[in-house]
């Protein structure tokens, strides 16, 4: 209803965090390349796995170098916010700055029918960008082949565009090195500036893809094989990303691009985390809900080749915050868009992260997870909160629930179909077809 749209508009206005002028537009006109790091958690960054001889093996040396580079805005308190839609929820959040659904996947349930004002369409209309997604799995997975038309993606290179055989793939599709390598021939034909997203798969559960150690990385020795293989698949992904960067550098595309890397969601589930604890210098017995909450951190890195202002930023944020951040770097005003997140580089960012489960959140000072309250900095549990603390955590609870409720209003009511104050033309999904060959 129109009143619902009003409620959403008011929320967005109140919540808008204006860009820091230092960073606004510094990536204007560049190509935008997203690298979706499948199931990749922040704890892998700078992590070294000990083999049976006590020798340390750096798991992701290339991603670590990006994390510490002066070319990169890196974030170490960035959380995934997905629920049952997993990868597709992460895409929903990153592309739209609103949340997936309380149950199931928004891509599956609404992707083929709702109106969106997503990144591909915004970049097309505000910056003349051509957009493409690359993914080495079947295009129907998560209903991507329909949803991408509604998001306004010009091209979707799914599995049917790649040479996939039993030696270079597994149940989720083409392995990452082959994937990037084969994607390049398509990327080269896409008009610049482009907005291109690469969705990797090799670091996907069950992490047994490189069990025989064929990539030369050690397998951990816990009681849980899912944990054991996770490091080797992450190392493979790291190598694949490095090879892709080498290609970008060799062709000169690198200097003219902004590259955003993000982990979509956890790879090791909470039920397995106690077995992971010893590898993180913690004890299985004392593993807490706080520890689980902190393990929902995923990488978020924005690489701007040629710049030297990069640093590790400690702002608490999540996937919902990506789109305004990215738009502001490109010099695109986001204040009229119905986006629910906040620019991660804005001094006005509120440092509050809603998980998709109502009532769970991380704020700069307090974290609430499974109804327990913790100090965010130390993990100390607060069992008897003072009235001040109680008021604070209640206000965080209210704010995070408000953000989720607004998101549900927006998506369930398909409210973007009524919204025209940002001057965007609606996407016509019939203009898109992803069969072999160009549109
Ligand atoms: C499938 C891949 C994995 O194509 O993106 O999705 P997930 O299982 O992580 O949701
Ligand atoms: Mn995923």
Is the distance from CB of 97 to CB of 321 less than 8 angstroms?
yes
Look at residue 210 in the predicted model and tell me its pLDDT.
82
User: Which helix or strand (DSSP H or E) is residue 144 part of?
Assistant: helix 144-151
Ligand 1 atom with the smallest distance to the CA of 144 is: 4
Q: Which two tokens stand for residue 127?
A: 């910056």
Look at residue 358 in the predicted model and tell me its pLDDT.
79
Q: How far apart are the C-alpha atoms of 295 and 290, rounded to whole Å?
A: 9
CB 40 less than 6 A from any atom of ligand 1: no
Ligand with an atom nearest the CA of residue 136: 1
Q: How far apart are the C-alpha atoms of 25 and 332, rounded to whole Å?
A: 7
Which residues lie closer than 8 Å to 343 by C-beta, 6 or more apart? 17, 18, 19, 20, 321, 324, 325, 328, 334, 349
Q: What is the 331 CA–ligand 1 centroid distance (Å)? A: 32
Q: What tens digit of pLDDT does each residue of 359-412 get?
A: 899 999 999 999 999 999 999 999 999 999 999 999 999 999 999 999 999 999
Q: What tens digit of pLDDT does each residue of 290-335 get?
A: 999 999 999 999 999 999 999 999 999 999 999 999 999 999 999 9
CB 137 less than 6 A from any atom of ligand 1: yes
Residues across the chain: 439
Q: How do the pLDDT tens digits run along the chain, 439 residues long?
A: 888 999 999 999 999 999 999 999 999 999 999 999 999 999 999 999 999 899 999 999 999 999 999 999 999 999 999 999 999 999 999 999 999 999 999 999 999 999 999 999 999 999 999 999 999 999 999 999 999 999 999 999 999 999 999 999 999 999 999 999 999 999 999 999 999 999 999 999 999 988 655 558 999 999 999 999 999 999 999 999 999 999 999 999 999 999 999 999 999 999 999 999 999 999 999 999 999 999 999 999 999 999 999 999 999 999 999 999 999 999 999 999 999 999 999 999 999 999 998 789 999 999 999 999 999 999 999 999 999 999 999 999 999 999 999 999 999 999 999 999 999 999 999 999 997 644 3
Look at residue 394 in the predicted model and tell me its pLDDT.
97
Query: Whole-structure pTM over 0.90, yes or no?
Result: yes
Q: Is the ipTM reported for this complex over the cut 0.85? A: yes
Probe residue for ligand 1, chosen from 35, 86, 88, 174 as the CB with the greatest number of ligand atoms within 8 Å = 86
Look at residue 303 in the predicted model and tell me its pLDDT.
98
Q: What is the 82 CA–ligand 1 centroid distance (Å)? A: 12
Ligand 1 atom with the smallest distance to the CA of 36 is: 5
Look at residue 39 in the predicted model and tell me its pLDDT.
98
Torsion over CA: 91, 94, 96, 100 (sign): positive
Ligand 1 atom with the smallest distance to the CA of 173 is: 4
Ligand with an atom nearest the CA of residue 201: 1
Is the distance from CB of 60 to CB of 366 less than 8 angstroms?
no
Active site residues: 87
Look at residue 214 in the predicted model and tell me its pLDDT.
58
Residue 56 CA neighbour count, 13 Å, CB half: 7
DSSP assignment string, 165-188: -TTTEETTEE-HHHHHHHHHHHHT
Probe residue for ligand 1, chosen from 141, 156, 171, 174 as the CB with the greatest number of ligand atoms within 8 Å = 141
Ligand with an atom nearest the CA of residue 37: 2
Strands (E), 298-413: 300-303, 311-313, 317-318, 352-354, 361-363, 366-369, 372-375
In what order do the strands lie in the sheet containing 300-303?
A: 155-157, 130-135, 194-199, 31-37, 257-263, 300-303, 72-75, 311-313
Ligand 1 atom with the smallest distance to the CA of 137 is: 4
Residue 369 CA neighbour count, 13 Å, CB half: 22
């Amino acid at each position: 209803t129109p009143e619902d749209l009003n409620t959403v508009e008011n929320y967005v206005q109140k919540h808008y965090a204006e860009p820091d002028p230092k960073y606004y537009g510094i990536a204007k006109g560049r190509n935008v390349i997203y690298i979706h790091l499948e199931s990749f958690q922040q704890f892998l960054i700078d992590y070294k796995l000990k083999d049976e001889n006590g020798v340390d093996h750096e798991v992701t040396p290339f991603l670590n170098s990006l994390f510490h580079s002066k070319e990169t805005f890196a974030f170490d308190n960035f959380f995934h916010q997905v629920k049952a839609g997993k990868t597709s929820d992460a895409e929903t959040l990153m592309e739209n700055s609103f949340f997936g659904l309380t149950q199931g996947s928004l891509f599956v349930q609404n992707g083929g029918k709702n109106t969106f004002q997503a990144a591909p369409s915004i970049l097309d209309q505000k910056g003349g960008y051509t957009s493409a997604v690359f993914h080495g799995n079947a295009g129907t997975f998560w209903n991507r082949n329909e949803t991408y038309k509604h998001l306004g993606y010009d091209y979707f290179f799914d599995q049917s565009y790649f040479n996939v055989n039993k030696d270079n793939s597994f149940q989720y599709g083409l392995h990452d090195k082959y994937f990037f390598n084969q994607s390049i021939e398509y990327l080269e034909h896409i008009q610049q500036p482009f907005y291109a997203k690469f969705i990797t798969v090799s670091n996907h559960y069950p992490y047994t893809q490189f069990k025989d150690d064929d990539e030369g990385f050690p397998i951990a020795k816990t009681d849980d094989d899912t944990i054991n293989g996770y490091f080797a698949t992450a190392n493979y992904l790291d190598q694949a990303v490095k090879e892709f960067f080498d290609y970008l550098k060799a062709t000169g595309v690198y200097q003219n691009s902004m590259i955003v890397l993000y982990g979509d969601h956890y790879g090791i589930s909470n039920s397995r985390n106690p077995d992971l604890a010893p590898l993180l210098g913690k004890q299985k017995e004392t593993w807490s809900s706080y520890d689980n909450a902190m393990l929902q951190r995923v990488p978020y890195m924005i690489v701007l080749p040629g710049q030297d202002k990069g640093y590790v930023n400690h702002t608490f944020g999540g996937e919902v915050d990506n789109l305004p951040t990215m738009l502001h770097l490109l010099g695109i005003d986001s204040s009229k868009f119905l986006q629910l997140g906040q620019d991660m580089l804005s001094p006005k960012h509120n440092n509050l992260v809603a998980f998709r489960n109502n009532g769970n959140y991380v704020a700069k000072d307090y974290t609430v997870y499974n109804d327990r309250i913790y100090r965010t900095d130390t993990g100390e549990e607060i069992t008897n909160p003072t009235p001040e603390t109680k008021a604070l955590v209640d206000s965080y609870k209210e704010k995070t629930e408000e953000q989720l409720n607004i998101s549900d209003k927006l998506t369930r009511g398909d409210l973007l179909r009524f919204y025209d104050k940002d001057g965007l033309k609606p996407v016509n999904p019939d203009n898109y077809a992803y069969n072999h060959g160009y549109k």
